[in-house]
Amino acid sequence: MKILVINPNTSTAMTAGIAAAARAVAAPGTEIVATQPSFGPLSIEGQYEEAFAAAGVAEQVRLHASLPGQVQGVVLACFGDPGLDAAREATTAPVLGVAEAAFHAASMLATGFSVVTTMKRTCIIAEHLVHRYGFERRCRGIHGTDIPVLALEDGGAGCVDQIEAAAREALARDRSGAIVLGCAGMAGLCATLQQRLGVPVVDGVAVAVKFAEALAALGLGTSKLGDYAAPLPKTFVGWAAPLGWAAPR
């Protein structure tokens, strides 16, 4: 089984860290192919940057997963889930965004969960996702730490105490029973934080990989009936010309 893991930003160090986290939980025989867009921001900390990241996700799915059987699952490793719907249009494989996957997992482990993320300015974006996915009754709070995303490039070891403190405050204030890590760059800290906090700590990269494996093993893929039907054949111009659906590969 081959799982494509896309880091929607262009930090090669973060892509490597995300790949390591994905491989650590992948089943024997699962190949993790980690990639990132050829253009776009080094980090995603706002909606302007997310717009370019979504296009980068579409680019990578077009290049690596648009033909049936190329990959058996796709994981979008950014907590904003940029380009999720476009990716689902562009492939028959199941596509998991790490935020959506983490919300589902946390809701199976506790009656309420809190999100601890990076920049406070992104908390509203995460709140929009909570409502989009229907978890407003389970998510009891979203807490920003103002840790820059690129500070997590080395795995976030220097940030673990700050994230732990925010998580402890969230558990007490929100009366929640689990923590969702609100950045794919925090993946390497999950085990340490769970040990320290004594509650389930959910990393979206790990659970998205396992969910993708499960769906693929069941023979389930993205529906092509309705709004996830394949994109219409269409010419693209400028730098995006090779990505048009009718363009030669």
Domains in the chain: ranges and CATH? 2-98+207-243 (3.40.50.12500), 99-203 (3.40.50.12500)
The label of the residue with tokens 């989009």 reads: 132
Give the mean pLDDT of 164-169.
97
Give the mean pLDDT of 206-224.
97
| DSSP single-letter state for residue 230 | P
Mean pLDDT, the chain, integer: 95
Q: Is the pLDDT of residue 247 over 70?
A: no
Q: Where are the beta strands (DSSP E) in 84-177?
A: 95-97, 113-117, 139-144
Q: Is the pLDDT of residue 245 over 90?
A: no
The residue length of the chain stands at: 249
Q: Is the pLDDT of residue 249 over 60?
A: no
Give the mean pLDDT of 73-102.
97
Q: Is the pLDDT of residue 143 over 90?
A: yes
The label of the residue with tokens 């069941």 reads: 218
Is 1 within 8 Å of 213 (Cβ atoms)? yes
Query: What b/e sequence results for 35-45 when a residue is b if at least 16 CB atoms lie within 10 Å of its CB, and e otherwise?
Result: bbbeebbebbb
List pLDDT tens digits, range 94-136.
999 999 999 999 999 999 999 999 999 999 999 999 999 999 9
Rounded Cα distance between 87 and 47, Å, is 18
Rounded Cα distance between 166 and 158, Å, is 14
pTM of whole model > 0.85? yes
pLDDT of residue 157: 79
Give the mean pLDDT of 26-42.
97
Q: Is the pLDDT of residue 2 over 90?
A: yes
54 vs 248, residue with greater confidence: 54
CA atoms within 13 A on the CB side of 62: 21
